[in-house]
Amino acid sequence: MQRVKYLYMALMVLILLSGCGNSNEEEKKELVKPIKYGVVESFGGLTTRTFNGITQSGSETKLSFRTGGLITRLNVGVGQRIKKNQLLAQLDQTDVLLALQQAQADVTNTKIQMETASSSFERVKQLYQTNNASLSDYEKAKSTLSSAQSSYEISLKRLDLQRSQVSYTTITAPMSGIVSSVHVGTNEVVSPGHIILTMSNEDASDIEAQAGVPEKYISQIKQGSPTKIRIPTLSNEFDGVITEVGYTSSGGTYPVITSLANTTDELRPGMPVEVTFTFGNENQQKQLIVPVKAVSEDESGQFVYALSPINNEVYEVKKKAIEIGRLTSEGFIVRSGLALDQIVAVAGLRTLYDGMKVSLLTQE
């Protein structure tokens, strides 16, 4: 009995020691704190920034029906080359063709009524001129002819309208090109204005690049400025010129469209691109700028917390003394202590220390 008691006590001691070991091991694990960061940038002179984008057709056209109905014919597929005026899609025409036949019959009937009224009017007119018909008979015949003429003109307009309704049930190619995308299939019911397909000009010289430029740089983008455009999938670089600068943002960036020079037949809409823009004034001296929120001060002077990458996700904090100059709208001018594109912390500086492990918060 005494032996069992000792074994039980030894087992409990082992469990406690094991728990303490795990606790110490957990304490040794260093927490990685996410923080906001900024980047040391250049100020003055000429600088470049590269933003991602995508190629697109400069004359992309979205096609849709002007009326709704059931799609009975869809004669195209993605990538198909089409010619101008080629029939691309058609809706069920049963109802509109019946209405067209009725409109044609109405025109025939009203035309006969108008011709009959005209003959009657001419006969009454001659009788009236020879005093063989009364004024009331003459006015009645005249009124009947006028009414028949109005009915005929209205039926002609209805016929034109019905012909237009028939034409609204078909889509023909407004130009020669290539089908970029098809959004529906046969036997689908679509509403007026619903996009059926998108087509692009097949000429490679019509290809342009659209890139998203952050708010910070959009004011420096000017129409007509040169750019450099790289297409990684083709390993080609093209000269470009800015043709359009977006006025409203989409997802935090402004769309900027650049035309491409010296294009090749390998270019296609939808290819990823890297568009490089040039900013600044070549007559100004080039200097480094650090964000205002990154700079702190102690008894030794100004300093920042630089972030050095350990791996793709974790960075090590290092306190760096710096010398700053005047304050600009972009931040403090750096006289010494930092390098271009160096990453620095811009929030929670009081909680940071040398050697601390942090991660970077995603910038909005």
Domains of the chain: 33-44+286-360 (2.40.420.20), 47-59+203-281 (2.40.30.170), 65-92+169-200 (2.40.50.100), 94-167 (1.10.287)
Instruction: Answer whether 292's CB lies under 8 Å from 347's CB.
Output: no
Over the stretch 199-215, which tens digit does the pLDDT of each residue have?
887 766 778 899 999 88
Using alpha carbons only, what angle is made at residue 362 by residues 360 and 364, rounded to the nearest 5 degrees?
140
Count of residues in the chain: 364
Over the chain (364 residues), the average pLDDT of each successive run of 10 is 53 54 47 88 78 86 92 90 91 93 94 92 88 87 91 93 92 88 92 91 78 86 90 86 88 88 81 87 76 90 92 91 86 88 90 90 70
**What are the pLDDT digits (tens) for 276-311?**
998 776 666 778 889 999 999 888 899 999 999 998
Helix (H, G, I), strand (E, B), or coil: what is residue 316?
A: strand
Contact between 271 and 38 under an 8 Å Cβ cutoff? The reply is: no
Measured between alpha carbons, how far is 111 from 363 in angstroms, rounded to an integer? 74
Q: Give pTM, 2 decimals.
A: 0.52
Is residue 199 packed enough to be buried (19+ CB in 10 Å), middle (13-18) or exposed (0-12)? buried
**Which residues are CB-contacts of 120 (< 8 A; sequence separation ≥ 6)?**
141, 144, 145
Q: What is the DSSP string of 209-235?
A: EEEEEEHHHHTT--TT-EEEEEETTTT
